[in-house]
Each structure stands twice: as structure tokens, then as C-alpha cells.
């Protein structure tokens, strides 16, 4: 059994962006699937899938990430492998093309879980990741409009992510984001924090998208994983946690999750969340804008 699910961020998507968003997540899921189909690991699959979304300027991660109050792209990302609980992340990193690749290097080449800001960037340069400006004209124009109003769009889709199960039964999760539009410089969201927006264990993998401050307070990804580990289906576990968060915070959250049997759960509380998935039970990659 192998399986993969990918999301492109829960929130408000313009009507003319929805078809492209579906195609983007479909391509990302296919890239991860193709790796596992020839024996690649779940870790490789989620890394490749998220990197593909970071390279697509439509999504709020890597190239095309939203801009903070200073007009800079400050990026967060993390990756986690369920068989060892190894995790690596970067936060508030600037001028890299693929923060998810730097996050994986943190996991594999250091004794750290999370590197931040200028020190994360220095590590990236030490590891050979070159200078790259992720700010696109589209995001710059939207930032200028939001700055004029002194109010970012709270519904801008916030994150991309992937979860996967490989042929050896290993689970992994990866998540990447530009965060919230007009955020305070130095703001850290849920995406780089194990258990908040990203988590994987031997029996569950979770990637979340939405308002990070709420997910950090409730350890959203870990809460969903624990329910799955206790026997709930991925969809039921995600739905229960999202309902709790909606009741407590009125939080807009989206989740993809996966168990060790390859069952996939995709739940969101926003008007849309482009997502795609494939498992050994399916004939091909399936993609949707909404549930």
C-alpha cells in the first residue's frame, strides 16, 4: 500500500485561480506518487510534492509567498518522518527558493529541530542553497493594496502540505508557508512546529493549514494524530478536532491526514482548499477545490 495527499491552502481563492490551484496540487501529488511507485520513501514523496508547490507562484509558500509588513517574504517550513520522529524546520527564513529542502537538511545534518531567521539563512548558505528572491509582482501588487488599507486579507490561503505512506509502511509529513499577509516581521506560525501544523508518527501523518496562532495553542496536528493512533479514522479525527477549534476560536482550519493503512482524511472549514490524493486503491490522482 502506498498513498499520498496534498493540499494547497485553506481560505478564499479567486474564481479564476481555482482550476490552476487544482492542477497544481494534482501535479504535486503525482510527483510524490511517482517517486514511491519506484520504491522511494514517504519522506522523499512529501518533500518533492511540497517543493513543487513552493515553485508554483500561485501558492502561498516559497515563490509567491505573501509578504509581511515590511514587504518581505518570511518563510516557514517543516518536515517529519513518522518511523523515527525525526523532524526539521526553518522559520522566518528569507531569500531561499525551497524552504522545505532547507528544513529537511536541518533534520538530516544537524542536531536541531528548528532554525530561525538569519541563522537559518546562514545554515542554508553553508549547505549550498543559493540566493533567491521569492517575491513575485503579483504578491507585491497585493501587498501594496493591503498596505494602503493597513489590513491584510485574513482569508488568503495560508499553507501547502503533503502526507504520504510508502511501500515499507513509513509515514511522513511536510508543510510550508509564507504565513499571514502583513504579518509582523519575526512572526512564527504553526507550520514549522512539530505537533502544531505538521506531524508524523508510525501510525499517522498530518499537515494543517489555517490560523497558526490557534493551532499552536491546541497542538492541532498532534491532537489529530493521537485520535488516529487511538483508532479513529483520519476523517473522523480531523473533523472532531476542527469542530472543537471552531467552537473555541471560530478558527478557519483545513487538514489532510493519513493512517498506516493508507486511509486518507481531508477536512476543512473554509470555502475551499485545493487538494489531491492517490492511494493504491485509486486508479489515478484525484484533485478537488473543495470537499
Residue burial 9-21, b: 16+ Cβ < 10 Å; e: rest: bbbebeeebeeeb
Phi, psi of 105 (to 5 degrees): -65, -35
Q: Which of 215, 200, 106, 114 is nearest to 158 (CA)?
A: 215
Q: Active site includes 159?
A: yes
* Spacing of C-alpha 52 from chain mean position: 12
Q: Which of 102, 11, 117 is nearest to 58 (CA)?
A: 11
Report how many domains make up the chain: 1
Specify the pTM.
0.96
What's the rounded Cα separation, in Å, for the pair 237 and 279?
A: 19
Domain that holds residue 225: 3-288
Provide the residue-wise pLDDT of the chain in tens; the chain has 291 residues. 999 999 999 888 889 999 999 999 999 999 999 999 999 999 999 999 999 999 999 999 999 999 999 999 999 999 999 999 999 999 999 999 999 999 999 999 999 999 999 999 999 999 999 999 999 999 999 999 888 887 666 556 679 999 999 999 999 999 999 999 999 999 999 999 999 999 999 999 999 999 999 999 999 999 999 999 999 999 999 999 999 999 999 888 999 999 999 999 999 988 889 999 999 988 889 999 876
Which one of the listed residues 47, 159, 218, 270 is annotated catalytic?
159
Neighbours of 47 (CB within 10 A): 24
Q: Cell numbers of 59, please?
A: 501558492
The CATH number of the domain holding residue 170 is: 3.60.20.30
Give strand pairing partners of 287: 276
Amino acid at each position: 500500500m502506498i498513498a499520498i495527499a496534498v493540499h494547497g491552502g485553506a481560505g478564499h481563492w479567486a474564481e479564476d485561480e481555482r482550476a490552476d490551484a487544482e492542477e497544481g496540487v494534482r501535479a504535486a501529488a503525482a510527483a510524490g506518487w511517482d517517486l514511491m511507485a519506484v520504491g522511494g520513501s514517504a519522506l522523499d514523496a512529501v518533500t518533492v510534492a511540497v517543493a513543487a508547490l513552493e515553485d508554483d507562484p500561485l501558492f502561498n509558500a516559497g515563490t509567491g509567498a505573501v509578504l509581511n509588513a515590511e514587504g518581505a517574504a518570511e518563510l516557514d517550513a517543516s518536515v517529519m518522518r513518522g518511523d523515527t520522529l525525526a523532524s526539521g524546520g526553518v522559520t522566518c527564513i528569507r531569500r531561499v527558493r525551497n524552504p522545505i529542502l532547507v528544513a529537511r537538511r536541518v533534520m538530516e545534518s544537524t542536531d536541531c529541530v528548528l532554525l530561525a531567521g538569519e541563522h537559518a539563512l546562514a545554515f542554508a548558505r553553508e549547505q549550498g542553497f543559493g540566493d533567491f528572491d521569492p517575491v513575485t509582482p503579483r504578491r507585491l501588487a497585493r501587498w501594496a493594496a493591503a498596505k494602503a488599507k493597513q489590513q491584510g486579507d485574513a482569508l488568503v490561503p495560508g499553507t501547502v502540505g503533503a502526507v504520504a505512506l510508502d511501500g515499507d509502511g513509513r509515514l511522513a509529513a511536510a508543510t510550508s508557508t509564507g504565513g499571514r499577509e502583513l504579518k509582523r516581521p519575526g512572526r512564527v506560525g504553526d507550520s514549522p512546529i512539530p505537533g502544531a501544523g505538521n506531524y508524523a508518527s508510525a501510525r499517522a501523518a498530518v499537515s494543517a493549514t489555517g490560523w497558526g496562532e490557534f493551532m499552536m495553542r491546541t497542538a492541532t496536528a498532534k491532537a489529530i494524530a493521537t485520535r488516529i493512533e487511538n483508532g479513529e479514522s483520519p476523517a473522523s479525527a480531523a473533523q472532531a478536532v476542527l469542530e472543537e477549534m471552531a467552537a473555541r476560536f471560530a478558527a478557519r482550519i483545513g487538514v489532510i491526514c493519513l493512517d498506516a493503512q493508507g486511509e486518507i482524511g481531508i477536512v476543512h472549514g473554509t470555502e475551499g482548499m485545493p487538494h489531491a490524493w492517490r492511494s493504491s486503491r485509486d486508479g489515478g490522482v484525484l484533485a478537488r477545490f473543495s470537499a
